[in-house]
A and B are shown apart, each in its own frame.
Chain A
Amino acid sequence: MRGDGMITAGIDVGSTTTKAVLLGKDGIYSYSVQATGIDIPEATEQVLGESLAQANLSFEDIAGIVSTGYGRISIPFSSQTITEITCNAAGVHHLFPNATLVVDIGGQDSKAIKMDKKGRVRQFAMNDKCAAGTGKFLEVAAQTLRVDVEELGKTSLESKNKITISNTCTVFAQSEIVSLIARKTEKEDIAAALHESIGSRIYGLINSVYPEPKAEIVLTGGVARNIAIVKLLERMTGRMVMVPENPQIVTALGAAILARKVN
């Protein structure tokens, strides 16, 4: 057995991707990200297997596993399940010990978390009921615009004319995009309007947790890589937005950190 019993794993089964993080005494050993698909146990086995292979470790080396994310209960080998809210806060606290405000934009949900300086969750808000204000919204929009979703943010920064998309409903927004395309609106302008729309949803979410006036935002989740969202949130909220190096794995990292305590 390696790692002095200190190696823990965090597995975050999100609606779009599944992530695993292996954590040792001195930090992250390895991590892996994959599409969740329909077979959750298989996806989790794969991400964990891949992380173990990268770190040159075996399953027996792991002292504890915490699973999180919407598919958290379907993982047979985890020692405990903890919600993505608590895990995300723990992950952010580890990376940014002074942070008190987190925004996580995932595939099908987005959340704002207010925490204390010890990383404990004080208040949280999640998007209610639908995919507006989430990664799914951007994904559907990118498909309709025939732009790669990774490029959508950059595309939006090229916008020259301000237009608005009034629908925050993902499905209705899609038909609004189609009619804008039919009216020959530039795709850059449409992309910018889409970002405005998602940004205002997130802004609302942030306000509903009553953040400290000057608290900076730590932005996590897959969408945090989108530079346009970062700029937009900075402009809308007047706060600084910080993005971790691997924003997608922060929740899985938090799960691995909490697995130390469970153990």
Chain B
Amino acid sequence: MEKILDKFKEFCMQPYDRAVEWKDAEPNRKVIGCIPMYFPEEILHAAGVLPVTLYGSDEPITMGEHHLMNNACHQVRSTFDSLLKGKYDFLDGVAALHVCDQVRFFLEVWQLDHPFPFFHEMWRPYRLDNTNRPFLTSELKRLISHLESFTGTEITIEAIRNSIGIYNESRYMMRKLNDIRRERPGIISASDMVCTVTSSMLIPREEHNQLLRELLSRIDNVLTPEDQRFKMVIIGHLCDAPDEGLLNLIENEGLSLIDDDFITGGRYYAVDVNPDGDPIESFADYYMNMIPCTTYHYVDCWRGDSDKYSPYADYTIDMLKKGQAAGIVILRAMYCDPFDMEFVLLRERLKEENIPFLALFIEKGSGSMEAVRTRVQAFVETL
């Protein structure tokens, strides 16, 4: 198991090496970078393209700052920095779903300043209900025809269904791994869990599935000593992959992270796409059934006497109860406004329900780990 986890870690450390290798192995192979979150990778896969998700990097941002406001979130600034440093030169295109205004604006700058052969922005209404479902399906159709004209080949329904199957299997295995972590805390560290999920978005999915299958077949033989730490769920950090060092610090200071809602975690594998039926409708369902997310607008929030209504808080509290966790660690990515807005409601609910929580303001590459350590230790002392 260790060996497979090390492999996942290697993929995360050299995020694009495998994609470049894959591309160079045969002529005319294409790699498209996806901006997190929620881009329908299956459709790219069905077009024979390798999708890789572009998480920025931990490097100091030395070029990205000049092109964007410095109150853009780290994920956006760091991705732009990587672009300017030439790290995405191997890509044939970029695809993104508009999860928030920051993504939208930075893509506009990207497209103007650094056009790629394929550039696709997909609109997902912030508020999803049956009135705007036709718009969402038209966006999915637009993506398919754009890809078809880019690759010169038709994307058949069978191909999409096949890809959905491969991605569903991937999600299923990740869910299974997470269930095991919830039942046997300490069997896999939070940082290994994040690497497992993140690496799936960097290499051909079939290869990742093979590794994950092997990992699951061996996990039953792994012994875990009794975990004395407090069980916690960890949430937030929207589009960025959380820092490995930070997760290790939290776990080393007496908290055992047993579940999360990261996009490099629970959020990514929570919902499957229906493999039968019309794929377009299945993807529309996927977006409509997504677990509560701060980049969605819920009509009933902030309205009259239901101003405390927060599906996100409900979801988080359910996660806590399911894992019988003692509390919640919240990673607030600096300058992520969708999360900050929701945080207000979430905090109120957690206080009302007397749920211990620790909210940490995180900006990758800045701030002192020692200051974080003090906060984590102090939180543990209150439990």
Chain A contacts to B: CB under 8 angstroms? 70, 82-86, 109, 120-122, 124, 126, 128-129, 210
Contact = CB atoms under 8 A, between A and B. Distances in A.
A83 B321 CA distance: 29
A109 B377 CA distance: 16
Residue from the set B367, B375, B378 with the largest chain A CB neighbour count within 10 Å: B378
B381 A83 contact: yes
Interface string B370-383: 11001101100110
A129 B378 contact: no
B368 A129 contact: yes
B221 interface: no
Interface string B355-370: 0000001000011101
A121 B361 CA distance: 20
Contacts of B381: 82-83, 85-86, 121
18 contacts: A70-B370, A70-B374, A82-B381, A83-B374, A83-B377, A84-B378, A85-B381, A121-B378, A121-B381, A124-B375, A126-B371, A126-B374, A126-B375, A128-B361, A128-B371, A129-B366, A129-B368, A210-B351
B160 to A, nearest CB: 46
A124 B357 CA distance: 11
A83 B378 contact: yes
B368 A121 contact: no
Contacts of B351: 210
Interface residues of B, number: 13
A46 B377 CA distance: 27
Contact of A120 (B361, B371, B374, B382): B382
A124 B370 CA distance: 16
A68 to B, nearest CB: 10
Contacts of A83: 374, 377-378, 381
Nearest to B351: A210
Interface string B64-89: 00000000000000000000000000
Contacts of B370: 70
B382 A84 contact: no
A128 B367 contact: yes
A146 B126 CA distance: 55
A247 B310 CA distance: 42
A15 to B, nearest CB: 11
Contacts of B374: 70, 83-85, 126
Contacts of A84: 374, 378
Contacts of B371: 109, 126, 128-129
A85 B378 contact: yes
Contacts of B368: 129
Contacts of A70: 370, 374
Given A128-B361, A129-B366, A86 B375 contact: no
Nearest to B366: A129
Nearest to A71: B370
Given A82-B377, A86-B382, 7 more contacts: A82-B381, A83-B377, A83-B381, A85-B381, A109-B371, A126-B375, A129-B368
A185 to B, nearest CB: 30
A86 B367 contact: no
A83 B376 CA distance: 9
Nearest to B374: A83
Contacts of A128: 361, 367, 371
Contacts of B361: 128-129
Residue from the set B367, B368, B377, B382 with the largest chain A CB neighbour count within 10 Å: B382
